């Protein structure tokens, strides 16, 4: 079952744009559940994009239609439906599941990888037992 498309990706944000400003820009289209602007932890500034989650799919569609290529603080916005972020191993069919969703499958994959390596990790650990790290 497809998830309702209520979250928009909003790219092209100017450095001064905050969650409050983004909320104010999108509130005319309907009630908003959440606004998120991911931060770059090294620079302590946002990364130039954000996400706006509406309560209703129709409101998200209207906002996307009206705000895509609109200007905010002198920069042109790019609005699209947000896509779930794929994780490594996506070609194995479990990329959209939470990491903890299939812990048994993960453990099996790790055990299989160890067998294929021929115990390389165990041999390396054995070598390190004799090393005096102090």
Domains of the chain: 7-81 (3.30.70.330), 90-129 (no CATH)
Of 77, 13, 8, which is closest to residue 45 (Cα–Cα)? 13
Query: Between 81 and 4, where is the model more confident?
Result: 81
**Model's pTM, two decimal places?**
0.62
pLDDT number for residue 96: 57
User: Partners of 79 in the beta sheet?
Assistant: 10
pLDDT tens digits along 50-103: 999 999 999 999 999 999 999 999 999 999 999 876 655 555 555 555 555 566
Q: Are 76 and 12 in contact (CB under 8 A)?
A: yes
């Amino acid at each position: 079952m497809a998830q309702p498309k209520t979250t928009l990706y909003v790219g092209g944000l100017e450095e001064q744009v905050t969650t409050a400003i983004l909320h104010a820009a999108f509130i005319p289209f309907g009630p908003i559940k959440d606004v998120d602007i991911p931060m770059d932890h090294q620079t302590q500034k946002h990364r130039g994009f954000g996400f706006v989650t509406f309560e209703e799919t129709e409101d998200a569609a209207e906002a996307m239609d009206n705000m895509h290529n609109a200007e905010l603080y002198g920069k042109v916005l790019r609005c699209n439906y947000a896509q779930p972020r794929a994780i490594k191993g996506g070609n194995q069919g479990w990329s959209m599941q939470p990491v903890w969703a299939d812990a048994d499958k993960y453990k099996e994959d790790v055990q299989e990888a160890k067998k294929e390596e021929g115990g390389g990790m165990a041999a390396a650990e054995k070598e390190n037992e004799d090393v005096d790290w102090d």
